[in-house]
Amino acid sequence: MVNSQFQLYLAPFQGITDAVYRTSLARWFGGVNAVFTPYISGTGVEKVSKNKLVDVMPLANQGVRTIPQMLSKDAGEMLLLGKALADLGYTEANWNLGCPFPRVANKKRGSGLLPFPEMVRAILETLFNSDFPLQLSVKMRTGYFDHSEVFEMLETLQQFPITEITMHPRTGKQLYSGDASESAFADAEALTQLPLVWNGDIFTVSKWHHLSLKFPRVDRWMIGRGALMNPALPLAIADYDAYCQIDNIKALAAFLNDIYQVTYARNEGRSVVVSRMKAVWVYLCHSFSDPVNAFRLIRKTRTPDDYLDAERRVLNEFELVRL
């Protein structure tokens, strides 16, 4: 179930929103018009190795519009990856100018590129003069050190055929502290004609409603942690009646079963599947009104069987929050 007045996107999370996570969320809950993959990086300029593309193989990404994301400051690398993605049938990609983590940003990648508009210009000039084969969108923060960096960056970006910009209005230095800044987003919006996607702190239907009234020109919304906590949140925003009609526990069980089965089948070891499910539950426990105790049950499991018992107990015994 999706709506036609606005678009809802699922944000990318390295280590969590892999192909089975994205497609199963779309399948069992719905509400998302598109999903973004966690960034692909370090692909080099010679040949994109197959293991970098595992998560974007078309067969594993059926049923929902999937937008692969790249993290790079090297136009040659982006061109080669773009061609590999085009060969897989993709027509669009997203460029990450938002990742705040020091090991990325200190190398002038992700949000670390935001203070350097000339570098961004040079990369985009090379890409668009070299038949980059995909439509390109950008996902960014409003700055690395300071929100004011967004102005020069937007002026640079809009000289190129960028399709849309997802804007998370925090600086890179902030990581996740403080609130996503509505005033920094408003300042950016006033400056650009490019379609902007709001991304940040949409945890409830009422927060989305507040933002949609505050930013009437925005018709694209990216939901991250809010959807990881409550996979039904996009549906509740897109169509509240449809949300009221789904069996949320059944949908959660099916969603978790998909993730568990696919991870188990990779056969990387029994502890891998358990730690993968725990990473999902770090957020997902907030679907329940007693998240601390729900997560405690999951956290103490060591074997797949223990995990499955704990999952069953949480789904059967804990009360869901109402969105």
Ligand X SMILES: Cc1cc2nc3c(=O)[nH]c(=O)nc-3n(C[C@H](O)[C@H](O)[C@H](O)COP(=O)(O)O)c2cc1C
Would you say 225 or 304 has its CB closer to ligand X? 225
Using CB under 6 A as the binding rule, whether residue 39 contacts ligand X is answered as yes
Contact track, ligand X, 78-97, x by CB under 6 A: ------------------x-
Taking the C-alpha atoms of 258, 259, 261 and 265 in order, what is their torsion angle to the nearest 10 degrees?
130
Q: Which stretch binds ligand X (CB under 6 A): 44-52, 198-206, 290-298, 305-313?
A: 198-206
Q: Which stretch binds ligand X (CB under 6 A): 9-17, 44-52, 54-62, 208-216?
A: 9-17
* Distance of closest approach, residue 113 Cβ to ligand X, in angstroms: 13
Using CB under 6 A as the binding rule, whether residue 12 contacts ligand X is answered as yes
Would you say 77 or 318 has its CB closer to ligand X? 77
Query: Which residues are CB-neighbours of 166 under 8 A, at least 6 positions away?
Result: 9, 94, 98, 137, 138, 139, 140, 196, 197, 199, 220, 222
The whole-angstrom separation of Cα 121 and Cα 317 is: 55
Nearest-5° angle of CA 36, CA 21, CA 286?
A: 100
Contact track, ligand X, 125-154, x by CB under 6 A: --------------x---------------
Q: Which stretch binds ligand X (CB under 6 A): 47-55, 79-87, 147-155, 200-208?
A: 200-208
The whole-angstrom separation of Cα 147 and Cα 150 is: 6
Q: Which residues bind ligand X (CB under 6 A)?
A: 11-14, 38-39, 69, 96, 98-99, 139, 168, 199-202, 223-226
